[in-house]
Structure 1
Amino acid sequence: MASVHPRKNRAGEITSYQVKWRDGGTRQGAGQSESFDNEDDAGVFKAAVDEAGQHWPPGWVKGRGYIAAEQVAEDAYRFRVYATRVIENRTGIEERYRGACHKELAKWVFPTFGECDVRSVEHFSSDTVKAWVRQLERTKVYRGRMPDGSPKGKPMSPKTIRNLHGLLSSILGEAVRSEPPLRARNPCELTNLPRIDDAGAEDDEDISFLTPQEVHALRAAFTLRQDQLMVDVKYGTGLRYSELTSLAPKCVLDIDGVRPRVQVRRAWKRDEHGGYYIGTPKTKRSRRTLRVSTSVVAALVELQAAAGLDDDGLYFTGDKGQRLHYSTFHDRWQRAVKRAKEAGLMPKHKNPTPHDLRHSHAAALISAGHGLTYVQRRLGHESVKTTSDLYGHLLPEADDDAMATIEAAMSGARPHLRSVG
């Protein structure tokens, strides 16, 4: 049940009262809170939360109170009910995506708008949507742990905020297009959203570009041979983890020839129940065929011989031949990173993840003069803009080349131009 908590300043004086509860009253429900200036108002609101089944009271918007005198009329138009029905009836989407929409609504949208009337221009206005977005901008999300074991928290990313806003907008858009229309317009169209490139230094740190020397040092820090070979294949191909761990010998073409290639036609995917299965990559660009180098071929040949794999056997598996869970490999990866740092072979400020091998693969190609379009197709990006945005600054060697070019230009010499293919 909801409870009232006095908030005190440093002098020990009570400055406000906060009502706290978990959405739906379950341990898994997202934590919710609302603040009041006096204890009586907090007590009245607590009773309203209890009456609403540990949800926000109908017609109440966080930080604003009751924004309309009337209650939500028919239950069918209560946003929680309406949005759930819209997502459940949506066609042309994967079941996993449908489930993800339900989870995001429950965690991030329903706490604010769940009990509001989808038809109300007071409940859903440019002001209430902007207030909700502002609330998301102040929200911290927690993923993983710091070296001391404490939860690792950071502000919600602009991309996540845009995705959540897009989900809300799509549902209100359905209300506008309903027959007959439930709304005259979609207030989400008036929201100025945070720019994805305004993420700031904290998000920039999410990508660690590794030099070839750092990759080599990290590889040597692994104790399992399979992990070392996995680093070789991932860095040598730039495959996503789901693509890499679904590779089997039948995916490799002309392995003994002069132009060995890997077909990327499958990847691990999650079903609506949270289980995993091997399906096709999500997009057309993701389904591709890559030339692979001698080192990658050698790694694949060694893996196949060591495990005695047939054409359908997976190159990378867990101890019992099952799918290699990301968390399992990530734990071993973290230990290897720690050993590489302790040996002085990796800078202390770098905290790479396995996905950074994909970024480093792309950066190595671009810094050597290979064109963005080639790299885009190799990585399976839908747009060359994605490739350009991610890999604009590259490895230190690219800066060295740029400085040489600028210095030559400033001294009056003709800059050396290298070919870009």
Structure 2
Amino acid sequence: MKRSDGSVAYKVLYRHNGKQTSATFDNPQARTHFLRNLDAFGPDVAVEILDSSHPDEAPLTLTQYARKHVANLSGIGEATRERYGAFIRRDLARIDLPLDAITPAVVAGWVNGLERAGASGKTIKNKHGFLSGVLEGAVRDGHLSANPCKHTRLPRTLQRDEMTFLTPGEFAVLADAVPAYWRPLVTTLVGTGLRVSEATALQVQDVDLDNGTVRVVRAWKRATDGTGWRLGPPKSKKSRRTVALSTQVRDLLVPLVDGRAPGEFLFTNRAGRPVRLNTWFKGVWQPALKRAHLGKPLRIHDLRHTCASWLIAGGLDLLTVQYTLGHESLTTTSDRYGHLMPERRQAAAAVMTMALAQAFPEIEPPRAVIAS
């Protein structure tokens, strides 16, 4: 529409609180932004955003800032950068408001939407963590006075993906079902707790047979375009570690080390090339599971969980388990495997029994033995 002074204005008619009303803008970008907010969030939020901004300007939105934030991140691989970009397009676009319109209520509504869509607690935590990092950057850059993610209450899921633990006897059955050529790899996975991406990236030079250790310094990662794999650093700083080898694993690795060049891959396929997980999974792992008839679901990653369960059953503390598995945080180890340490609960109950015996001396406590 034209104003009396000859300038062009852009008008939007909409209904708010049961009445038809309108808003006028000086440029089509601001009009388009208002229409998008109307469609996405309804008139109440759209009007609130309009009242708190300048209608003749197109304010910096969450996704615009998030893209700049990711572009400026250092210390991440291109595959991670691509994954963040997809997350921005797929998830943050649901709340693509001006930065100063991202409130704790908006973040809470977004989190609730993820939960209603069936996202797991871990997924929601990861996505919320990324959003919080973006908005923390906006605070540092002066776009926000405070991070609206700071006090979000995240939902908890009743259970994580179920972990499967093998007994030594069950692993013996599995190992017998695996072709002899691949038995060293499978035994190394359960005997060291290495991730399969770490184990298949091991080179001959990483194995120290004299000291009975293996050094984890690299892992396979998906290439940026998702069509292949490349070598990169392990998952985190603490994933770079030296793991002790059991006698059985060491003995299986001797023929794979002796006489070979330091830079050769320790485990290769029958053609002498690097092991590719998808091919190995279909050609080796799945047929072995069928032959083993274990009667329980078993992922390759469950060999890592089995390693942790055996270490804990043997009396090792969680700090040692954390180092062996390469977890970045002890909390991760405790959350994942703490339930495998019932003796802690028993020890706590024994200590409390002794303490309450002093408070209620008339009640003779049962004999309590506290493990040293």
TM-score range, shorter chain: 0.7 to 0.9
For normalisation by structure 1, the TM-score amounts to 0.67
Residue 21 of structure 2 corresponds to none
Q: Which amino acid aligns with 1:219?
A: A
Aligned residues: 323
Q: CA deviation at 1:204?
A: 4.7
Contact kept, 8 Å, 2:190 with 2:307, in 1: the verdict is yes
Residue 358 of structure 1 corresponds to 304
Match of 2:174 among 205, 212, 218: 218
1:236-247 map, 5 Å? 236-247=191-202
Match of 1:329 among 272, 280, 290: 280
Q: Which amino acid aligns with 1:199?
A: T
Residue 85 of structure 2 corresponds to 102
Q: CA deviation at 1:362?
A: 1.3
Residues 300, 182 of structure 1: alpha-carbon distance in 2 compared, 3 angstrom cutoff: same
Q: CA deviation at 1:249?
A: 1.6
Residue 33 of structure 1 corresponds to none
Q: Distance in 2 between matches of 1:56 and 1:337?
A: 57
Q: CA deviation at 1:74?
A: 4.7
Residue 383 of structure 1 corresponds to 329
Q: CA deviation at 1:162?
A: 1.5
Residue 161 of structure 1 corresponds to 124
Q: Which runs of 5+ in 2 are unaligned?
A: 1-31, 354-363
Cα deviations by residue, 1:313-343 (Å, 9 ceiling, x for unpaired): 21223454333222223323233223322xx
Q: Which amino acid aligns with 2:243?
A: L
Q: Distance in 2 between matches of 1:369 and 1:416?
A: 15
Whether 1:208 aligns to 2:151 is: no
Residue 367 of structure 1 corresponds to 313
Residue 134 of structure 1 corresponds to 112
Q: CA deviation at 1:60?
A: 4.3
Residue 91 of structure 1 corresponds to 74
Residue 118 of structure 1 corresponds to 99
Residues 73, 131 of structure 1: alpha-carbon distance in 2 compared, 3 angstrom cutoff: farther
Q: Which amino acid aligns with 2:180?
A: R
Residue 187 of structure 2 corresponds to 232
Q: Distance in 2 between matches of 1:273 and 1:235?
A: 31
The residue matched to 2:149 in structure 1 has which SS?
helix
Residues 246, 60 of structure 1: alpha-carbon distance in 2 compared, 3 angstrom cutoff: farther
Of Structure 1 and Structure 2, the greater helix share is in 2
Contact kept, 8 Å, 1:73 with 1:117, in 2: the verdict is no
Whether 1:313 aligns to 2:289 is: no
Residue 142 of structure 1 corresponds to none
Q: Distance in 2 between matches of 1:384 and 1:204?
A: 20
Q: CA deviation at 1:105?
A: 1.1
Q: CA deviation at 1:416?
A: 7.1
Residues 225, 393 of structure 1: alpha-carbon distance in 2 compared, 3 angstrom cutoff: same
Residues 399, 113 of structure 1: alpha-carbon distance in 2 compared, 3 angstrom cutoff: closer
Q: Distance in 2 between matches of 1:109 and 1:247?
A: 38
Q: Distance in 1 between matches of 2:365 and 2:287?
A: 48
Q: Which amino acid aligns with 1:285?
A: K
Residue 137 of structure 2 corresponds to 174
Cα deviations by residue, 1:245-282 (Å, 9 ceiling, x for unpaired): 011221111x2x4x321111222234434443223324
Identity of aligned residues (%): 36
Q: CA deviation at 1:301?
A: 2.3
Q: Report which of the two structures shows the higher radius of gyration computed on alpha carbons.
A: 2
Q: CA deviation at 1:239?
A: 0.7
What is the RMSD of the two structures over their aligned residues, measured on CA atoms? 3.4
Q: CA deviation at 1:64?
A: 4.4
Q: Distance in 1 between matches of 2:328 and 2:125?
A: 19
Residues 320, 386 of structure 1: alpha-carbon distance in 2 compared, 3 angstrom cutoff: same
Cα deviations by residue, 1:184-221 (Å, 9 ceiling, x for unpaired): 33322242112xxx3323x251x111111111112222
1:190-205 map, 5 Å? 190-194=151-155, 198-201=156-159, 203-205=160-162
Match of 1:287 among 232, 240, 257: 240
The residue matched to 1:392 in structure 2 has which SS?
helix
Cα deviations by residue, 1:106-160 (Å, 9 ceiling, x for unpaired): 12221x123x2223x3xx2222221111110022xxxxxxxxxxxxxxx322121
Residues 219, 190 of structure 1: alpha-carbon distance in 2 compared, 3 angstrom cutoff: same
Residue 415 of structure 1 corresponds to 369
Residues 324, 368 of structure 1: alpha-carbon distance in 2 compared, 3 angstrom cutoff: same
Q: CA deviation at 1:66?
A: 6.8
Q: Distance in 1 between matches of 2:231 and 2:40?
A: 42
Cα deviations by residue, 1:62-81 (Å, 9 ceiling, x for unpaired): 56467214498655613332
Contact kept, 8 Å, 2:221 with 2:229, in 1: the verdict is yes
Q: Distance in 2 between matches of 1:231 and 1:160?
A: 29
Match of 1:393 among 333, 336, 339: 339
The residue matched to 1:182 in structure 2 has which SS?
coil
Of Structure 1 and Structure 2, the greater strand share is in 1
For normalisation by structure 2, the TM-score amounts to 0.75
Larger mean Cα displacement after TM superposition, 240-249 or 331-340: 331-340
Whether 1:82 aligns to 2:65 is: yes
Residues 65, 98 of structure 1: alpha-carbon distance in 2 compared, 3 angstrom cutoff: farther
Q: Distance in 2 between matches of 1:386 and 1:401?
A: 18
Q: Which amino acid aligns with 2:198?
A: E
Q: Distance in 1 between matches of 2:344 and 2:64?
A: 58
